[in-house]
A = this chain, B = another copy of it.
């Protein structure tokens, strides 16, 4: 079952229903998208001949469809025209939570798990669009500035699409969650925040003289948070 219309929440089924720490879970589309759109790296789980694989890959979201690049599943998918079940997961680590008991140690995080059927993108028009999107979703309007893709490159590129059938976001974003009676113990507790940040851009040392950095790269300021840049990039991509 695909989510064809813009409902506020994804359906809840045995596949995505959260059992552990369910108070952290949300099936809300906006909550799921907020986690996905703040990332460019995901992990996709497939099964090939009974063996599960968790493959890290760059991905992007277009409405309720997730796209990613060729992967270990592409050989398999060439033979599975109907597609194969997959799970695409994003997780951001936001903090280390040190409690007064081992049991209450935790982490702050934002995660999203998306379930659906992955298929090869074979339609030439959808594939061309995806090959532009994989650039422009991250680097606004950049694809038009580049040396055009060659037929051989297009042939060597595998793109996989998965409409999100079900999804769930899980978020922990708070301080130490000790048992009430443990707060009185003479034990240090606290949170160590964790952030993924951008460094100073390193221009290619073979740039042709006089080539300036494109203005749109101001989306990635030195010292800025990667997730903020990616969320802004997604809004530009959705809007353009």
Contacts and interface: CB of A to CB of B under 8 A. Distances in A.
Contact of A53 (B113, B176, B202): B113
A135 interface: yes
Contacts of A102: 131-132, 134-135, 143, 146, 149, 153
Contact of A50 (B47, B138, B149, B186): B47
Given A51-B87, A54-B44, A147-B100, A203 B190 contact: yes
A41 B93 contact: yes
B182 A147 contact: yes
Interface in A205-219: 205-208, 210-214, 217
A187 B20 contact: no
Interface in A197-232: 197-208, 210-214, 217, 220, 226
Give the oligomeric copy count: 2
Interface in A84-112: 85-89, 91, 93, 95-96, 98-103, 105, 107, 109, 111
A142 B100 CA distance: 10
Given A147-B185, A187-B145, A115 B51 contact: yes
Contact of A204 (B72, B132, B189, B226): B189
B175 A204 contact: yes
Contacts of A147: 100-101, 182, 185, 187
A226 B194 contact: yes
Rank and list the top 3 A-B pairs by shortest CB-CB distance, nearest first. A193-B199, A56-B91, A45-B54
Interface of A: 15, 19-20, 40-41, 43-47, 50-56, 58, 70-72, 75, 85-89, 91, 93, 95-96, 98-103, 105, 107, 109, 111, 113, 115, 131-132, 134-135, 138-139, 142-143, 145-150, 153, 156-157, 175-176, 178, 182-208, 210-214, 217, 220, 226
